[in-house]
Amino acid sequence: MSRSGPAFETSTRETLDWRARSACRNHPRLPFDAWFPDGKSRDWVQVIQDAKNVCWNECPVRAECKAQALERREPSGIWGGMDEDERAATLRRVKRDRAAARKREEGF
Residues 49-107 have pLDDT tens digits of 999 999 999 999 999 999 999 999 999 999 999 999 999 999 999 999 999 998 888 87
- The predicted-structure confidence for 8-32, as pLDDT tens digits, reads as follows 444 555 556 888 999 998 899 998 8
Check residue 17 and give its pLDDT.
82
Is 16 inside a domain boundary?
A: yes
Measuring CA to CA, which residue among 19, 78, 51, 89 is closest to residue 6? 19
Measuring CA to CA, which residue among 35, 32, 26, 31 is closest to residue 76? 35
Domain housing 33: 12-106
Q: How many CB atoms lie within 10 A of CB 74?
A: 18
Check residue 2 and give its pLDDT.
39
Q: With H, G, I as helix, E, B as strand and everything else as coil, classify residue 85.
A: helix
Domains in the chain, number: 1
Is 4 inside a domain boundary?
A: no
Is 2 inside a domain boundary?
A: no
> What is the model's pTM?
0.75
